[in-house]
Amino acid sequence: MVTLSREDIVRLCERVEGAQTRAYAIPKLTDEYPNMTMADGYAIQTELRRRFIEQGHALIGWKAGLTSRAKMQQMGVEVPSIGFLTDRMARPESSSITVSDLVHPRVECEVAFVTKADLSGPGCTAEQVLAATDYVLPAIEIIDSRFSGFKFDLESVVADNGSSARFVSGGRARYPDELDLRTLGVVLEKNGEIVEMGAAAEVLGHPAEAVAMLVNILHDLGETLPAGSFVMSGGITAAVAVQPGDHINARFQELGSISIRFEQ
Ligand code: OOG
Ligand code: MG
């Protein structure tokens, strides 16, 4: 249930938008509003999406977050969440990504889906997601929690659009029926050393389950997932902090690899 007034939603949205666009840390929103609900978090996120679209950003898809045990443990939460993705967040493969416009940048490996049919909830299933999937491809998400000292709770992170900041897709696109997405392995290398590895089943048993969950949350927000959407299904491993000078390489079994660099 939404408990915040329209005025508070707009004010908190402006606070999050300022932190995102000018790259500074803010206290978690629940410090000021301890009774804030998940619905309040989504109301702030929806207002942020409305403002970005009004400013000319294009909505290109959505992301599921906190869908793996590793991520839930890392962030100390137990429920998955969703956030929106815009054209301004996309960066090319093999590019150099600046960190001076980010607060706490961290990288994670995800399986991304591109859809060819509309999907809607309630009751959307992984089978329906796979039938509506045009292809899957690998992605690196660069998340950026805007909250000071990583003090964090689900309501605040939902309001902060699930820490969405940048993402890079690339590698090799594949039809999902040619792969076993549960056993698909990924290795994350930082400066030539392996720092994380895992299998895509870490994401709710199957990444398509995460997309189904996302579609069902969209239904609660009064939205559907149109054909042609780009959807990231959630970090497979814990997220890894990056600094200027770092080189990241994500190697996905069957889907190729993606490299990026970070600079000041
Ligand atoms: C929240 C974002 C979670 C994922 O893939 O699990 C996320 C965070 O960790 O700040 O994007
Ligand atoms: Mg993610």
pLDDT of residue 152: 79
pLDDT of residue 71: 87
pTM for the structure as a whole:
0.97
Closest CA to 40 of 159, 124, 154: 159
Out of 38, 62, 75, mutate this one to test ligand 1's pocket (max ligand atoms within 8 Å of CB): namely 75
pLDDT of residue 151: 79
Residue 103 alpha carbon to ligand 1 centre in Å: 15
Give me the sign of the Cα torsion angle 44, 46, 49, 55. negative
Residue 89 alpha carbon to ligand 2 centre in Å: 13
- 258-259-262 Cα angle (round to 5): 140
How far is the C-alpha of 200 from the C-alpha of 101, rounded, in Å?
A: 30
pLDDT of residue 99: 97
Q: Return all residues near 245 (Cβ < 8 A) that are at least 6 apart.
A: 262, 263
Q: Which residue has a Cα nearest atom 11 of ligand 1? A: 65
Out of 89, 143, 236, mutate this one to test ligand 1's pocket (max ligand atoms within 8 Å of CB): namely 143
Q: How far apart are the first and last CA of the chain?
A: 42
Q: pLDDT tens digits, the chain, 264 residues: what are they? A: 999 999 999 999 999 999 999 999 999 999 999 999 999 999 999 999 999 999 999 999 999 999 998 888 888 888 899 999 999 999 999 999 999 999 999 999 999 999 999 999 999 999 999 999 999 999 999 999 999 987 779 999 999 999 999 999 999 999 999 999 999 999 999 999 999 999 999 999 999 999 999 999 999 999 999 999 999 999 999 999 999 999 999 999 999 999 999 999
Using a 10 angstrom Cβ sphere, with 0-12 exposed, 13-18 middle and 19 or more buried, the burial of residue 164 is buried
pLDDT of residue 149: 84
* Residues with C-beta less than 6 Å from any ligand 1 atom: 63, 65-67, 71, 75, 108, 141, 143, 145, 157, 162-163, 234-235, 239
Exposure string for 119-140, b = 16+ CB within 10 A, e = fewer: bebeebebebbbebbeebbbbb
